Amino acid sequence: MHMQPMNANNQMENQTVNPVPPVMNHAGHEVLDVHEILSHAVNTMNTYVMLRPHVQDPELADIMQRQHQYMVNEYNTLVDCFSTGRDPATPTSRYQMKQGNNVIYGMKQQGQPHKPMTNPSEINDQRISSQILGMLKTGASHKAVAATETTNPVVRRVLADSIPNCIEMAYEVFLYQNKRGYYQVPQFSQQEMQQLTTSFGPATPPQLPLQ
């Protein structure tokens, strides 16, 4: 039997994929990534609940209360679109921090060096804010990586839209820590700073040959 050569149209027809129901419109790696993100969200919210009774500073308590409420709403939105593959009933909202953007620079002499706790009585506002800052930064990183390869367009958009809010919450805790002296910010000397900030110049568009 003589075989006809496959032309471009035949190739395109063979590559055509039947439409996938929205609920199944997820790649394998996407499912695992979102599972990890949702698990981390649960652990973060659980941490807020466990640490909240130990908070002494009313400002930190207010930050944690507002952030926790936002996390609950964001978590429900992601669960909704992930389980259905469709637009969530409640879209992603914007988290607005209360902190200003003023950073205190410089290093001050610390007391005892940091070391792991040996007793629950050592839990304090510094350790609580450090713990939640680390969890917020990890959540932002996980979402940023997952959003670059998520196949379901709705889930990808929800993940991408939530990243700036994760950054905002982490930055709010960083500013709180910095204001309280828990997170010190060193700087280079003026000469070193000038050298580093002027070490790059503008790029020139390449002159590519016409095809």
The predicted structure's pLDDT at residue 210: 73
The residues pairing with 106 across neighbouring beta strands, listed in sequence order, are: 185
The predicted structure's pLDDT at residue 12: 46
Q: Which CATH class is domain 22-103+124-180?
A: mainly alpha
pTM of the model: 0.83
The residues pairing with 105 across neighbouring beta strands, listed in sequence order, are: 185
The predicted structure's pLDDT at residue 112: 77
Domain boundaries, the chain: 22-103+124-180
The predicted structure's pLDDT at residue 17: 53
The predicted structure's pLDDT at residue 5: 53
Q: Which letter, b or e, does each residue of 96-118 get, where b requires 16 or more Cβ atoms within 10 Å of its Cβ?
A: ebebeeeeeeeeeeeeeeeeeee
The predicted structure's pLDDT at residue 16: 46
SS3 of residue 2 by DSSP: coil
pLDDT one-digit tens code per residue, 29-57:
888 899 999 999 999 999 999 999 999 99
Residues 197, 63: Cα–Cα separation, whole Å: 34
Over the chain (211 residues), what is each successive 10-residue block's mean pLDDT? 51 52 71 94 97 97 97 96 91 90 87 85 95 97 94 93 96 96 92 93 85 68
The predicted structure's pLDDT at residue 19: 62
The predicted structure's pLDDT at residue 208: 81
